[in-house]
A and B are shown apart, each in its own frame.
Chain A
Amino acid sequence: MRVYLDNSATTRPYPEVARLVMEAMEGVYGNPSALHDAGLAAEKAVREARRRLADAAGAEPDSLVFTSGGTESDNMALICGAESGKRRGKRIISSRIEHPAVIESCRALEEKGFEVAFADVDSHGAVVPASVEQLMNEDAILISCMHVNNETGTIQPVGELLRLRDSFERRVGRRLLFHVDAVQSFGKIPLDFGLGFFGKSIDEVKDGNFFSQYCENFNNCRNSPGGADLIAFSAHKIHGPMGSGALYVRRGVNIKPLIYGGGQERGLRSGTENVPAIAGFGLAAKMASERLGSRAAFVAGLRKRLLSGLLSEVGDIKVNGHAEVLRESAAAAGPAGDAAGPPAGAAQMARSAQAARSAQTAQAAQMAQTARSAQMAASPYILNVSFRGIRGEVLLHDLESKGIFVSTGSACSSKKGGGSPVLKAMGLPQADVEGAIRFSLSEFNTAEEIDYAVEAVKASAARLRRLRRFR
């Protein structure tokens, strides 16, 4: 059996997406900038993709810039965002758990004379808003924070940080740009930035209908003055093609491009558009957002099944990140957990939509109060676990030999005290950092696969723990 549990690294494309990419390569090979019909067809394909992405992201089509992927989007946001604000100040605020695309852009900006400050995170891997607030001095021009952490799945308190930013802007009387790296959240959980699941844990909201309803109004804050200014998206994390991504640039935010040339993408991102990949991205975004709630609920069920299996069958593990509530409930549920059903059908979703809508007002009222505890919530797509007495990389290779693909933050340099900077920032002991494995799920996984994986981990752990003295 082949079990792919590394979906936060990249996902298998939807077959529909693969077909569309192929069709675009074979049939829509004109240059979108060309004046003839072949060019027009390509331009139309890009326009259609932009519309689909805009619908999925709750943004206006003309606020989206297609890029080569999440990394370029983050680079553009940081570097161009900082440049646009350099007359206002020099300080850029980010966190210790950002993706290297952000961290390394910050370092490059440091060399250009900007000052970078990294906010602390708590033991769940959530950025501490007070730490960010402390760093927001008179010199601050740009804040960058991810929505969902790629290693732990912890949902960051972006909504709270946005409110802090708003009050800073009111107090100081000038703009403080806010960038969100939504690569691990877009198309997976609602883009409501930090409100989590209305403050509820995954278990409480695992009902697919709740999610379906929930995502209908998910990004209301996006284009309001309180919304983020820049948001990075990636296609291949949501079953789209590699080499395609986008940056949302809020209307009224003026940044200069990172890449100059023929003036494509309203001059913000030159270079002939990657038409097949963009078309694929558009379709993937559409498909992901249409079934977002039921998929998230389905995957949450798989994760719960995986965690309870690991807790009861393997033992001596530590869940990294968010999952205090989850761990207890899963332990109580026992190895079988809840049988994870298939995503809820469209008919069922429609039936319960009305009931959910009436509950919506009450939920919205709760939002403000529960926002603070929302940082406990996590993306259902990621489970990060430290196996005591085992090095993560060794377990990874043993699982690979059984056809199971997972990920670890640490490389073989762990002997030299290396390992995931994210887990270290959360204050994990070195042994737990070295023993960490990230399981990341997708809607393509099945309950059978999870059971197979649990059995395989059980066998591997038993064997490897016999050598724990040497690890």
Chain B
Amino acid sequence: MAMENQNSGMQIFIVRYGEVALKGLNKPYFERMLVERMRKLLRRFGDVSVRRSDGLVFVYADNRHRSEDIIGEISKVFGVTSISPATEVESDMDAICSAASEYMLERMKRGDVKTFKVEAKRADKSFPVPSPDIARVVGAEVLKRCRELKVDVHDPDCRIYVNLRKGRSYIYEDKFPGFGGLPLGTNGKGLILLSGGIDSPVAAFMMAKRGMRIEAVHFHSYPYTSKRAQEKVEALAGLLAVYCGRFEMHMINLLPIQEQLVERCPEEEMTILLRRFMMKIAERLAARTGCAMLITGENLGQVASQTAEALTVTDEAAKIPVMRPLIALDKVDIIDKARDIGTYETSVLPYEDCCTVFLPKHPATKPKLADILASESRLDASSLIEAALDSAETVIIRPYNRSIEGDHGSSRDTMP
């Protein structure tokens, strides 16, 4: 196939993965998961070959695809640290020199290059020329062909890499960064409490990046929250699915619980009590769906329900581990991450979530567990939880769900 005949109709990408390589005995398993995930995401391009060789992954794709699209797809695979489009040649010094020179001539047409440097890596140790010599020889050859260029080993405009392997060598320049992390599916499954805000998608992303499969639960207060708000959360989940693959999301209406809270509990405890209900419902859902832990977007001190005291009381509600990957991040950093993964614009669409609907005027910021438990004892907690679970609606979330177009906000302030 492509490897054997140097097919000019193919483009080649070298994909590096970081941490995966460090995993000792599990290494083959992690590598296999990584390649599987890449194959899955690249399947839509049709005939793409993904191969592993000596700590790198080589991707061969037909030239008719845009290389940005292929790189974009590969970069969504957790575990990938960087991607480079590459030129493939025979592992022969003359061939490498001439290919490197050709590459440079092409490169100079594209942009302003005055200085360059060649770096070489000899993966095939049986090759007679050592790495520094390869770099020197190739660099000299490039200089001969491109007379106006100068070598700058410290801060070159263009850095060309030569990767010399058994039989084949690769010449490349740019490295496009990946997200790093670990291949999806190598670290169990967690249930994310997805609100529709900025934080929870980032929290889900961060856990998924460590190899965790995700499933989601969304709490709403219809009709106090709208169907469009639910659609927005589905759109957000669809953006997550781009990285995490297809998953299920359970939609649960909290209004019956909120109604009872309004009737029977002190106003300032509304939010914290509701959050405890969410944890309990989520815990039950997790047990049903094979999730070992919960994931939330909670962040220390961000709102009244996320003070140290409030988090303590919330945490007590669930017995299984609760992951809070954002706990110590600043809001600006969370926003940056949300922009990075592409969920920010959808997150900021203006729909209410269930927590803001019955917002007490003065929420308890330092709730005491004993008080909260006492309030809870006045409620039909277990039947409320059962009813909530029974009413759950499950939606299948698939990648690229962009049903929300973001133009509702502007038209909703005025009447047609």
Contacts and interface: CB of A to CB of B under 8 A. Distances in A.
A422 B267 CA distance: 34
Nearest to B351: A412
Nearest to A410: B413
B356 A415 contact: yes
A393 B413 CA distance: 11
Given A466-B259, A470-B262, A413 B413 contact: yes
Q: Which of B267, B352, B413 has the most CB of A within 10 A?
A: B413
B247 interface: no
B105 interface: no
A254 B371 CA distance: 76
Q: How large is the interface on B (under 10, 10 to 19, 20 to 34, 35 or more residues)?
A: 20 to 34
Given A413-B350, A466-B263, A469-B267, A400 B414 contact: no
A394 B224 contact: yes
Nearest to B409: A411
Contacts of A415: 352, 356
A438 interface: yes
Given A412-B352, A413-B350, A398 B223 contact: yes
B66 interface: no
B56 to A, nearest CB: 50
Given A8-B415, A412-B352, A397 B222 contact: yes
Interface in A380-426: 393-398, 400-401, 407-413, 415, 418, 420-422
A269 B270 CA distance: 58
A401 B416 contact: no
A397 B227 contact: yes
Contacts of B351: 412
A9 interface: yes
A400 B414 CA distance: 19
Contacts of B270: 470
Contacts of B409: 411
A470 B358 contact: yes
Contacts of A100: 414
B415 A400 contact: no
A184 to B, nearest CB: 10
B413 A418 contact: yes
B412 interface: yes
Given A412-B351, A467-B358, A470-B357, A397 B226 contact: yes
Q: Which of A10, A407, A412, A415 has the most CB of B within 10 A?
A: A412
Interface residues of A, number: 32
A6 to B, nearest CB: 9
Interface in B287-323: none
A396 B228 CA distance: 13
Interface in B318-377: 350-352, 356-360
Contacts of B225: 397
A150 B263 contact: no
Contact of B415 (A398, A413, A420, A470): A420
B401 to A, nearest CB: 22
A411 B228 CA distance: 12
Contacts of A438: 415
Contacts of A410: 413
Contacts of A398: 223
Nearest to B224: A394
A151 interface: yes
A393 B415 contact: no
B262 A466 contact: yes
Contacts of B263: 466
Interface in B227-283: 227, 258-259, 262-263, 267, 270
A467 B359 CA distance: 12
A394 B223 contact: yes
Q: Which of A9, A394, A398, A400 has the most CB of B within 10 A?
A: A394
A72 to B, nearest CB: 15
Contacts of A420: 414-415
Contacts of A411: 350, 409, 412-413
Interface of B: 222-227, 258-259, 262-263, 267, 270, 350-352, 356-360, 409, 412-416
24 contacts: A8-B415, A9-B416, A99-B414, A150-B416, A394-B224, A396-B223, A397-B225, A397-B227, A398-B223, A401-B223, A408-B415, A412-B226, A412-B350, A412-B412, A413-B413, A415-B352, A421-B414, A422-B415, A466-B262, A466-B263, A467-B258, A467-B358, A469-B267, A470-B270
Given A99-B414, A393-B226, A470-B359, 13 more contacts: A9-B415, A396-B223, A397-B223, A400-B227, A401-B222, A407-B415, A409-B415, A410-B413, A413-B413, A415-B356, A421-B414, A467-B262, A467-B358
Interface of A: 8-10, 99-100, 150-151, 393-398, 400-401, 407-413, 415, 418, 420-422, 438, 466-467, 469-470
Which 3 pairs between the two chains have the least Cβ-Cβ distance? A397-B223, A411-B412, A398-B223
